Structure formats: structure tokens, C-alpha cells
Amino acid sequence: MKKLLCILSLIPFGFFSNCGSQEQPNGGKAGVSSPQKISAVQAKAIMDEGKPYTLLDVRTEDEYKEGHIRGAVLIPVDELQTHAEKELPDKNAFILVYCRSGARSARAAKTLAGMGYTGIHDFGGIIDWPYETVKN
């Protein structure tokens, strides 16, 4: 009876909530890295540092041809599951992700994190990119 009372007295303090849960504070699964949200200014500073990075455009091919950031690799968000591992073989690489407005880049960042990529930095949309772009 004493053990039962002891256990019941711990319940209000949350000692048994999430018991056995694999969920992490970031809302992801155990061992999954969360993407970082950064600004266009921060992304440009990273690009100018000279350290290695991969710039990933997740828009459509037509959008990419209309204008993209120099050096960007195109993998449309809907093709990430099938093309990322071939095009982005280093899952620990520093990856800067963008799209048009930020919705697809956020989705892509979460997808990549779920695939085991650890260095993902989402800087939103090209519409907020105040720097040079190029056309194909």
C-alpha cells in the first residue's frame, strides 16, 4: 500500500508523463537534427565566409530558369525523397535551402532532416533575397 501511495504521489509532478517516449524537445525523432531558420542576410554572410556549403533551390525548373542564386543546385521539393541522396551525398554537409516565399524551403528542410541530414539552414524565399540572382 505504501508503494502505491508513493507512486500516486509522483503523478502530479509529471514523473510518468512521456514515459518511454523517443520524442526530443525539438519535436523530432531521436537522433534527428532540426533545421535552422536563418535570414537572407545570414545566408549571404555564410556564403561570403568561404567555408564549404551547398546552396539548394527547391523550386520548380521553370522558376529556377527565371532566376536563381548563383551556384544553386536545383532539386524541386517534390523530388527530394528520390534525388537528395544522389545529389547531396554528404548528410553532414552545410546546406542552405531556399524557395520562392519560404513555404517549400521549410517543407524541404524538414524532409531533409527526416532523411538524416544534419546541417540544414533554411533562409526562406528568393523574394526576400536582396542580392544578385542569375538566369539560365
pLDDT in tens, 89-99: 999 999 999 99
What is the rounded distance in angstroms from the CA atom of residue 15 to the CA atom of residue 9?
10
Which residues participate in catalysis according to the annotation?
99
Q: Into how many domains does the chain fold?
A: 1
The answer as to whether 61 is a domain residue is yes
| In the predicted structure, residue 105 carries a pLDDT above the cut 90 | yes
CATH number at residue 93: 3.40.250.10
Q: What is the pLDDT of residues 1-38, one digit of tens each?
A: 454 344 444 444 443 333 333 333 344 444 457 999 99
Q: Is 69 inside any structural domain? A: yes
Specify the pTM. 0.77
List the domain range (segments joined by +) for residue 66: 33-128
How far apart, in whole angstroms, are the C-alpha atoms of residue 4 and residue 20?
A: 20
**Which strand ranges, in their side-by-side order, compose the sheet holding 119-125?**
36-37, 119-125, 94-99, 54-57, 73-74
For the chain, strand residue ranges (E) read: 36-37, 54-57, 73-74, 94-99, 119-125
Q: What is the pLDDT of residue 22?
A: 38
The answer to whether position 67 is within a domain reads yes
pLDDT band of 136, cuts 50, 70, 90: confident
Inter-axis angle of helices 103-114 and 80-87, to 10 degrees?
70
Q: 36: which 3 cell numbers?
A: 535552422
Q: Would you say residue 47 lies in a domain?
A: yes
